[in-house]
Amino acid sequence: MYEVELRSRVDDLQKMENRLKRLGAKFLSEVEETDTYYGMKWDVGSIKQLKRNGGRIGILLRIRKRAEDSRTRHIFTMKTLPSDDSSIREEVELDIGDPERMREVLGAMRALEILTLHKRRRKFSLKNIDFLLDDIRELGTWIEAAREGVPKGHLRETREELERFMRRELGIENVESLGYFRIAVQELL
């Protein structure tokens, strides 16, 4: 199964939240996340090479610290890039009890720590689409439309559905298929 996600910078998260609520979106949660991204040395080369190729990476590794209410979880994620469309990734996630030990494992595997992003995220759901309103310290404010668990044969139609909804219902013109990692590589490194 795959995850399909599209995003766009927005100037006013509150205005976007109000628009989602008017359309009938249900508020699900608010979390704070710290995402530290890694790449395998053989895949990344060097940070300079990564920047030169626009942050394109075959296997993206992430350790996420997620704080929600009084609970904190750590999640290890591996995302692969199966095609030229960076809005579609195969993703595997697992909870980890000891993030420092996981960092040691990644170091032993010669993974490079590339960058860290800090975000406050408000999650809504509407029409089987997750809408994430993100305030990212390093990148500004964004809306993301996402659907997880998409079968391989439905990737293109799901992407088109998300883009159509963002444009028609939310009035967003500049829909971005790049993930936050690639955007951050291009803007911050």
Per-residue pLDDT tens over the stretch 61-71: 999 999 998 89
180: pLDDT confidence band, cut at 50, 70 and 90?
very high
Q: How large is the average pLDDT for residues 111-132?
A: 96
Question: Global pTM?
Answer: 0.88
The CATH number of domain 2-188, selected from 3.40.50.300, 2.40.320.10, 2.70.70.10, 3.20.20.70: 2.40.320.10
Partner residues linked to 175 by β-bridges:
none
Number of neighbouring beta carbons within 10 Å of residue 80 = 13
Q: What is the 3-state secondary structure (H, E, C) of 81-125?
A: CCCCCCCEEEEEEEECCCHHHHHHHHHHCCEEEEEEEEEEEEEEE
Q: How large is the average pLDDT for residues 156-183?
A: 92
41-56 residues labelled b (16+ CB within 10 A) or e (exposed): eeebeeeeebeeeebb
Q: How large is the average pLDDT for residues 159-177?
A: 93
Model pLDDT, residue 83: 57
- For residues 181 and 160, the answer to whether their CB atoms sit within 8 Å is no
Within 8 A by CB and 6+ apart from 23, the residues are: 126, 169
Q: How large is the average pLDDT for residues 74-102?
A: 81
Task: Look up residue 11 and give its DSSP letter.
Answer: S
Mean pLDDT of the chain: 91
Residue 60: CA count within 13 A, CB half-sphere: 25
The alpha carbon of residue 167 and the mean position of all alpha carbons in its chain are separated, in whole angstroms, by: 20
Q: How much of the chain, in percent, has pLDDT values that exceed 90?
A: 69
